[in-house]
Structure 1
Amino acid sequence: MIWLTWRQHRVQFLSGAVVLAVLALAAYLTRMQITDFSRDSGLTSCLASGGDCVTIAHSFDQRFTGWLNTARFLIVLPLLIGFFWGAPLVAREFEQNTHRLVWNQTIGRARWLSIKLGIMILATALIAGVTSLLLAWWFKPFQDATALGRVTPDAFDLVGIAPIGYALFAVSLGVAAGAVLGRSLLAMGVTLIGFVTVRFAVSGLRVHFMPTLSTTYPVGGTGTKTTDKAWVISRGYVDGQGDRVSLTAADRLCRRTAADYEGTLRCLRERGFKHLDKYHPDNHFWSLQAVETAVFSGLAVLLFAFTIYWIMRRFG
């Protein structure tokens, strides 16, 4: 049965291996250029010495931001796995009636399902995990040189263990949709709508997975070291009594008496205002990752269980 599953889905598995190899090669070649620039421009030595590296870091940012924005498109990789691995896994068997041939041999439905799902789960976790490690390695120079932190949404969705949860959920959704609908294309459509909807919903709730921290600093200041590499959730002001005031309300209060931006800042300082940032620090990364991975992995388990129940009941 393992050999049969490989024969049936070898194109998908080999395509995934090729994509992973291409990503690894691209990551290696581009990271070489990034590290060479950091070394030759003096950015590496500047960061190591703790000096003022703003000018060099700005040049780094201007040169490589395009690559960073391109890498962010890899957020769709779990969805593609759900499309091309999950949706056809069972649906194609039903479309071609090959499942009946297998069940008429010595292999029953339970063994057929367990082997197919087991191989798919292992392959999905492997490719998602390797891709996550590869991207974490590739992102490291950006994290050193810029404000990009792994807890910020731009990086969070691509590194750590959460991408494994995303991929397992996408595959399980595709498999379940294929089992119910019996058509690969229809299952792909359901996978697209369901995956995007759940991903957006959970990402919107991520900020509440752990209590946020707060920090204050003088008006006109550049912030504190506590928010370096952090995911800043909101910015505002607090007045002299410690009550929170929105940016709009504070600026409106001083705009009537201030002639320019500097005058506004001076007015806010005189009234005892301070900046207030609410944020998730970098050390919340693994806790947030654990919660989100548990959510998507739990949904994947439920969908796989539903698939087994549906097929056993439908053909019972």
Structure 2
Amino acid sequence: MTWLAWRQQRLTWLIVAIVFTAVLSVSAYGHWRVANLIQQADVFKASEGYNDIFTDSQLVAILIPPLVGIFLGVSLFAPEIEHNTHVLVLTQSVSRLRWFFVKIAYAAVAAVAAGGLQSIAFDWSWSQYIAALDQSWVDPMTLGARGVDPAAYTLLATVAGAAAGLLIRRTLSAVAITIGVFAVVRVGGMFAWLSLVPTRQDVRQLPGAYPAPPRDSFAFFVDGGFILNDGQRLLNYDPVYQDIIGSCPVDTVADKCLVENGVAAEFIRYYSTDQFAAIQAVDAGLAIAISFILLAIGAFWVRKRTH
């Protein structure tokens, strides 16, 4: 069974390897170009020339896991079941669960390896750029492109594709279901860590000197606003906040104006890079947990299925 699973998936592995060779080549070029600009102390040019490329790289890094996962997962069972070629295997001495888990194991190893390589490539390619330009390591886009997130979400897409192929029995339908599951978990993971991981906060009492920026220049700023004399908080998108800001000049007498408008202090909330592990523990943990749930559903379905 192990040999058969390898024979069936070797073309898939080869295509994934070719794709990641191309990704690593592009990453190597980006790393080399950014390193040259920074060595020349031309940081502005690095920013001007690479902001769009950096954003595109973040987007590509987030899209690679579902694409690879769909390619690996949906192709495991859906085509066989759609054409009834799985019947030949199941009529041999191989148990249904062994057939299921051996095929899943090969795909899962490929998925985790692909996600890990993508994460390493992104870090290596862009770490100098982010450090030179004080970009955030903990904004949602960058979080999804580095650390354990790519491996966890590639695994999720692979298992979701395999489970969808088993249950739906149609390749195109399984692809659509997999995309939907991935998108829901991806967005849900972001809301999960935003809800469960507490933000850091800096408060400036008025009147008074502006506090130094957070020591972590790579922080991801969430929001900020005013604290009124009665303790009420106004966020920076609140219409009342905008009215107060509009009525006060942006100069040395701004504090006096804010105090006259009932403002006691101002605050900012942000995530710091030392919270990266906690954020990814929630985000990747959710993806891995749902992967195991889908794996259990698939195993149960295989065991109970009659054909």
TM-score (norm 1): 0.87
Aligned-partner Cα distance in 2 for 1:11–1:296? 27
Q: Deviations over 1:85-133 (max 9, x none)?
A: 1112111111222211112223221221121011111111111111111
The structural deviation recorded for 1:230 is: 1.1
Alignment of 1:1-316 (within 5 A): 1-41=1-41, 57-74=43-60, 75-217=62-204, 224-239=213-228, 243-247=232-236, 248-253=239-244, 255-256=246-247, 258=248, 260-262=249-251, 265-268=254-257, 270-271=259-260, 273-315=264-306
Q: Partner of 1:233: helix, strand, or coil?
A: strand
CA contact (8 A) 1:217 1:224 kept: no
Q: Tell me the percent identity.
A: 23
Q: Partner of 1:216: helix, strand, or coil?
A: strand
**Which piece of structure 1 moves more, 246-255 or 202-211?**
246-255
The structural deviation recorded for 1:34 is: 0.4
Aligned-partner Cα distance in 1 for 2:7–2:174? 22
Q: Deviations over 1:191-249 (max 9, x none)?
A: 11221122112212321221111102478958613352112111112346765333342
Aligned-partner Cα distance in 2 for 1:254–1:293? 40
Aligned to 1:53: none
What is the alpha-carbon root mean square deviation over aligned residues?
2.4
Q: Partner of 1:63: helix, strand, or coil?
A: helix
Which runs of 5 or more residues in structure 2 are unaligned?
none
Aligned-partner Cα distance in 2 for 1:296–1:140? 25
Aligned-partner Cα distance in 1 for 2:45–2:94? 62
CA contact (8 A) 1:218 1:275 kept: yes
Name the CA shift for 1:13/1:268 in 2 (closer, same or farther; >3 Å).
farther
Aligned-partner Cα distance in 2 for 1:192–1:254? 43
TM-score (norm 2): 0.89
Q: Partner of 1:278: helix, strand, or coil?
A: strand
CA contact (8 A) 2:70 2:175 kept: yes
Aligned-partner Cα distance in 2 for 1:290–1:266? 41
Which runs of 5 or more residues in structure 1 are unaligned?
42-55
